[in-house]
Structure 1
Amino acid sequence: MIVLCTNLWNHHMGPVCREMARLDGADFKMVLSEPLDMLERIEGGRSDWKASASGGEPKTEPAAKAAPCVAYEGLLPPQEPWIVQPPRTEADWQTGVYNDLIWTADVAIIGATSRYAWRTIRKRVWAGKLTFFMNERFFRTPRDWKYWLNPRRLASWCRTHLLLSPANVHYLTMNHWCADDLAFFRACTGRTWRWGYLVAVSDAPTPKPVREKVRIGWCGRFLRLKNVCDILQACSSLENSLKRQIEVTLVGDGPEKENLVRLTHELGLDDQVRFLPFMSSADAKAFMRDLDVYVFPSGRQEGWGAVLSEAMDASCAVVANEAAGATLELVKDGVNGFTFKDGDIRTLTRRLDALIADAALRRKFGLAAWRTMQEWSPAVGAQRLTALIDAVRSGHTPRTPSDGLCGLIR
């Protein structure tokens, strides 16, 4: 039996788990560890929440600070036979089947998990049972040696090193930078595998008709780390003849929205840029299918960036910050999109210039992007992960592409 334990349901994890459950002979369970009373508060928009990848306390903020967010959509899980519904309360966790499933599983895959599961997870690791951890990264920003002079941080390094060092522990990195973090902890050498958020993919590429104006877009939560201001700065730097050929739509809500609206006015882009409010996941995908170009300016602080995957599946010509987690895995510069260095507005402007002027290039990149996502689909992910698990359990060398899903990183 394969058990995947994570804190909550989300629409990015669902597709690959559903494919795992569909495989012939599969005995797959998804255990949701966050008590339902917490999830209902999130779903109702009455609290903000941050996931813990190390068993820490959930963090809540007053309702006045809460705002609609794509990440909070659909957290209450569907009724599926392979989903172990979350406990109603913390007390229910202690008396339910959750710890038993994690302990007795032939293979456990551990994502960001609430604190209630960690005693059983550690017990499982020390007992030598095959365990895969799955996470985006340990550090949002690089840490130099001075950071670790603090005794508590040094103790944290030691705990992480000891937890991930046993030969029965493997790691699925949902971010290119996570492998560097594991090297820093001197853990999982020869047991670090490429993974990511595997969004549902379409059966065919999306046609992109040539229109009077090139439609450029972005979708997400307006946070400083998203670097949405880079899009505005780049559009402002375009020649006037190109500015008249674009229609830029920014979708979402968040604390930076007011500043971005003000910047749009200051840069004289009121005729080119419009803002739309938060959309559901389904509406956001429809929005992307109607775009010609998708700009993904998030930098290293972006763990993965599933929105880039969705834009590529929608056959958009993408221009992506090369420092973001998903960019490093999905986008090959000049092949299925363009990349630019973090903060390099001049290069971003040149990339937009080229795409605005060349409809054939947009179509070429869009088709190549869609084909890339066929190799990063939930079905492919489920097959390769199962093959990887079978190979590890039998002591054989996994036969997976080194630069694709479940490829060996280090």
Structure 2
Amino acid sequence: MMIAIVSNFLNHHQLMLCNEFKKYCDEFYFIATEEIPEDRLSMGYSNMDSQYDFVLRTYDGSTDEKKIYDVLDRSDAVIFGACKDELIEYRMKQNKLSFLASERFFKKGTWRRFHPAIAKAVKRRSVQFKDKNYYVLCASAFLPRDLSLLGFPAEKCYKWGYFPKTERLECYPEKDSGTLRILWVGRLLKLKRADMAVKACAYLKENNVDFSLDFIGDGQCKEELIKLIDKYSLQNNVNFLGSMSPEEVRENMKGADIFMFTSNFREGWGAVVNEAMSSGCAMLASSAAGSVPFLIEDGRNGLVFRNGCQADLNKKLYKLATDSKMRENLGKEAMHTINNDYCPEVAAKRLVEFIKAEDKSKVNFEKGPMSGAEILKNKWYK
């Protein structure tokens, strides 16, 4: 079997899945179409494109163009991510099995489907192939609805996402019984809504909860957050730890009691959710992020708060902060979800099964990767 992934650049969120695909393939390739940006390197990412022999780079002349098209011709299946539309169209002229792996298209609102240029671009990558041997791997629970609004059939959309390394911890990580440790990880951008985390922690302080809030990451909103911290007199509670390597982030996750994920609908997936759940954190996540409806069952393996609702976040953070047994139960279930259901091993195995199946409609998984992705509206969580 031969499988190829075509995307911008290889990173640690994709590497484990690539390694799993290699186990099933005689030939496997990752076709990288862009050099990794400097801002990603400053965040602790490494340049993996030159570290693995299965990566074919199109952007620096190291791979002959004929080789790229040879891979597109010979592969049993190709997964297209961030790449030129022409590569997808070339493959689909032959109607060979292909997948579009994508986050949602209308992050800024479904009204954007009425914008002629945007609608044309989305249709070019998806709707024009709706009757072909072409399926969608959803890296957002909201993607099926975005596509259905333009006429792409939801029954050709499957749950997918990002599959970073799973921790495979032998037991639930021991937590410090002293000060409650809350962790937030990501770039400090407006869409990440880190301000909500600060305000929620101010609510904890008002209610006499002893805690620390650690921010890992950097970005344009840091100064605004510092002002907010000063406003609520949280200087002794909040720490900015800066950017870290993926390995350092994971170590911090293992020691955290609660992981807050506050992004709005402009968050495509949010791989830190996978990572924090795998590390045994009690999750408290916004309903707007693309990963949350796929990964979190509210009250079983994490808590969900209504996007943008500060009161809902405050209430649920206080509930977690004052109930250590709940935190432990949610953390254990979160570990089980990621390590056994939503992991690279399961995703690769199921996609290979789908590729091999003569009748794709008979490949049915109840939950997790490659199960059917239903149409979900933004206001799904009440």
Residue by residue over 1:247-297, the C-alpha shift from the partner in whole angstroms, topping out at 9 and shown as x without a partner, is 111111111111111110111111211111111110001011110000000
CA distance change for structure 1 residues 161 and 367 in 2, over 3 Å: closer, same or farther?
closer
Given that residues 3 and 21 in structure 2 are in contact (C-alpha distance below 8 angstroms), is that contact kept between their aligned partners in structure 1? no
Return the offset for 1:208.
2.9
Q: Does 1:30 align with 2:1?
A: no
Counterpart residue identity of residue 74, structure 1: S
Partner residue of 1:232 out of 198, 201, 204: 198
Deviates more, 1:261-270 or 1:135-144: 135-144
- Structure 2 Cα separation of the partners of residues 308 and 139 of structure 1: 21
Residue 328 in structure 1 maps to residue 302 in structure 2: no
Q: Do the aligned residues in 2 keep the contact of 1:242 with 1:353 (CA within 8 Å)?
A: no
1:173/1:278 CA distance change after superposition, 3 Å? same
Q: What's the CA shift for 1:379?
A: 0.7
Tell me the SS of whatever aligns to 2:29.
strand
Given the alignment of the two structures, is residue 143 of structure 1 paired with residue 117 of structure 2, yes or no?
Answer: no
Displacement after TM superposition at 1:92 (Å): 5.3
Structure-1 separation of matches of 2:322 and 2:105: 41
Structure 2 partner of 1:105:
75
SS in 2 for 1:363: helix
Q: Does 1:85 align with 2:84?
A: no
2: distance between equivalents of 1:312 and 1:15?
17
Q: Tell me the distance in 1 between the aligned counterparts of 2:269 and 2:118.
A: 25
Q: CA RMSD in A?
A: 2.2
The answer to whether the Cα contact below 8 Å between 1:384 and 1:406 also exists between their aligned partners in 2 is yes
Q: In structure 2, what is the equivalent of residue 206 of structure 1?
A: 172
Q: How many residues in Structure 1 have an aligned counterpart in Structure 2?
A: 371
Question: In structure 2, what is the Cα distance between the partners aligned to 1:388 and 1:132?
Answer: 11
Q: SS of the counterpart of 1:20?
A: helix
**One-letter amino acid of the counterpart of residue 368, structure 1:** E
Taking only the aligned residue pairs, the percentage that are identical comes to: 27
Question: 1:231 offset after TM fit, Å?
Answer: 0.6
Partner SS for 2:100: strand
The alpha-carbon distance between structure 1 residues 267 and 12, as it changes in their structure 2 partners (threshold 3 A), is same
Does structure 2 conserve the Cα–Cα contact (< 8 Å) formed by 1:103 and 1:121?
A: no
| Shift, 1:230, TM fit | 0.2
Q: Which runs of 5+ in 1 are unaligned?
A: 50-66
Using the size of structure 2 for normalisation, the TM-score is: 0.90
Find out whether 1:381 has 2:347 as its counterpart. Answer: yes
Answer yes or no: is the 8 Å Cα contact 1:252–1:278 preserved in 2.
yes
Partners of 2:27 and 2:255 in 1: how far apart? 37
Indicate the residue corresponding to 1:131 in structure 2. Answer: 98
Partner of 1:335, secondary structure, is coil
CA 1:399–1:28 in structure 2 vs 1: closer, same or farther (change >3 Å)? farther
Residue 27 of structure 1, CA deviation: 2.7
Tell me the residue number matched to 1:316: 281
Query: How far apart are the structure 2 equivalents of 1:157 and 1:318?
Result: 33
> Any idea what the Cα deviations from partners look like across 1:183-212, whole Å, max 9, x if unmatched?
012114421111010121122243233522
Tell me, what secondary structure is at the counterpart of 1:242? Answer: coil
- Aligned AA for 1:99? Y
Residue number in structure 1 paired with 2:229: 264
Within 5 Å, give how 1:184-223 maps onto structure 2.
Answer: 184-204=149-169, 205-223=171-189
Note the residue ranges of structure 2 that are not aligned, 5 or more in a row: 375-382
* Residue of structure 2 in register with 1:57 after alignment: none
Task: Give the distance between the partners of 2:137 and 2:211, measured in 1 at CA.
Answer: 40
Question: Is residue 96–residue 133 contact of structure 2 (8 Å, CA) maintained in 1?
Answer: yes
Aligned partner of 2:380 in structure 1 is none
Deviation digits for residues 319-374 of structure 1, max 9, x if unmatched?
Answer: 00011111111111111111110111111111111111111111011001101102
Match status 1:68 vs 2:42: yes
**Structure-2 residue corresponding to 1:15:** 16
Is the Cα contact below 8 Å between 1:249 and 1:273 reproduced in 2? yes
Which one of 128, 135, 141 corresponds to residue 176 of structure 1?
Answer: 141
Kept in 2: contact 1:217–1:248 (CA 8 A)? yes
> CA shift at 1:104, angstroms?
2.2
* 1:307 lines up with 2:272 in the alignment: yes
Residues 175 and 340 (structure 1), Cα distance of their counterparts in 2 relative to 1, 3 Å cut: same
Letter in 1 for 2:30: V
Find the aligned partners of 2:122 and 2:234 in 1 and give their Cα distance: 48
SS of equivalent to 2:328: helix
Which one-letter code corresponds to 2:368 in the other structure?
G
For 1:157 and 1:311, the matched residues in 2 are separated by 32
Give 1:100's aligned amino acid. Answer: D
8 Å contact kept, 1:321–1:339: yes
Moved more, 293-302 or 195-204: 195-204
Change beyond 3 A, Cα 1:201–1:154? closer
Instruction: Tell me the SS of whatever aligns to 1:301.
Output: coil
For residues 80-139 of structure 1, the C-alpha deviation after alignment (integer angstroms, 9 at most, x for no partner) is 44x1331452x55564411210122121111112x3xx4342022122111111111112
Matched, 1:408 2:372: yes
TM-score, structure 1 normalization: 0.85
Letter of the aligned partner of 2:175 in structure 1?
P
The 8 Å contact of residues 5 and 102 in structure 1, kept in 2 or not, is answered as no
Residues 377 and 300 (structure 1 numbering): CA distance in 2 closer, same or farther, change over 3 Å? same
Answer whether contact 1:210 1:359 (CA < 8 A) is retained: no
- SS of the residue 1:294 aligns to: strand
